[in-house]
Amino acid sequence: MRSPIHREGWVFIGLFVAITVGLFMIHFITGWIGVTLTAWCVWFFRDPERVTPPGDGLIISPADGRVLAHVSTKPPPELGMGDTSRTRVSIFMNVFNVHVNRVPCGGKVVALAYTRGKFINASFDKASEHNERMAAWIRVPDPTGGARQYDLAVVQIAGLVARRIKCGLQKGDNVVSGERYGIIRFGSRLDVYLPDGVEPLVTEGQITKGGETILAKLETGS
């Protein structure tokens, strides 16, 4: 059975437990402050199961959070996807959201690119360009079985508090929609650059669930 806590969290939980023991040795009240912080740490690193909706051509939210304003812009230049603008759907995660990231659509990982950068507030639009990030280009086969292929990008972006991006993808991987692929600590955002011509089905301010909320749908001919 999969642990309800992401493996990246156990070191931090252990650290918080050790600090809490020390705080109890200082004073009873400060010890309970440590208990509260430890409980929050466990909550932050929770890794719940999700049921990804079935269906051809669905693009699923890679993260829990709040949808920011949609922007038409070029994909990250480090991926080499070209200069054609496409719709970017951004999801902001606060420190209370599940931070485990999930693959938005099944396909093949064409390229990965890590970029060092700043740690400004991830809710700001400029965070997509200036913040530290990990970008993945996924090529999605035609859901109708035809020869056409769709290219999308999903980008993990560090935030004001976040200082660690973890990505488990490798170039050439075949990925499945909704599967776990990474985590960001402790508050950040995910950007999804939709394939050319694909429009989002979510609106600004909408709350998403990673692995479950449908962001967009590719053409299926139906």
Q: Which residues are catalytic?
A: 188
Residues 6+ apart with CB under 8 A from 22: 34
SS3 8: helix
Distance in angstroms (rounded) separating the CA atoms of residues 202 and 211: 14
Coarse DSSP helix, strand, coil percentages of the chain, rounded to the nearest 5 percent: 20, 35, 45
Amino acid in the structure at residue 14: G
Distance in angstroms (rounded) separating the CA atoms of residues 90 and 191: 4
Distance in angstroms (rounded) separating the CA atoms of residues 38 and 156: 26
For 202, phi and psi rounded to 5 degrees?
A: -110, 160
